[in-house]
Amino acid sequence: MLRDETPPDQIITFGAPRTGALKNLRNSDVHIECFRQGKDIVPTVPPFMPRHRENIRIGKADSYIGDHSMDKYIEVLQREFDYDA
């Protein structure tokens, strides 16, 4: 994206770890949304890296590992946001 100097219009992540690459977009016009399902532990690592945006919390907390399942993300999005994947 940035390497090719073609910034995206938006970035949406689901259970993604913190990443330093998005810090390049912090002061840009790119819309960034980061979803975290329940107690999904992956968006909290690495712990020393700051967040580029606050996570949008969805679903109920069941399991640190189980909540990382993409099936759970899809299920919650369909239920809470009336989204049909």
Q: What residues are paired with 33 via a beta bridge?
A: 12
Residues 11-46 have pLDDT tens digits of 889 999 987 666 666 667 888 889 999 999 999 998
Q: Could you tell me the residue ranges of all domains in the chain?
A: 10-79
Give the percent of the chain with pLDDT over 90: 38
pLDDT at position 50 is 76
Neighbour order of strands in the sheet with 10-14: 10-14, 31-37, 55-58
Q: How far apart are CA 83 and CA 74, in angstroms?
A: 9
- Which of 9, 76, 85, 22 lies closest to 49, judged by CA? 22
Type of residue found at 53? R
More confident residue, 32 or 72: 72
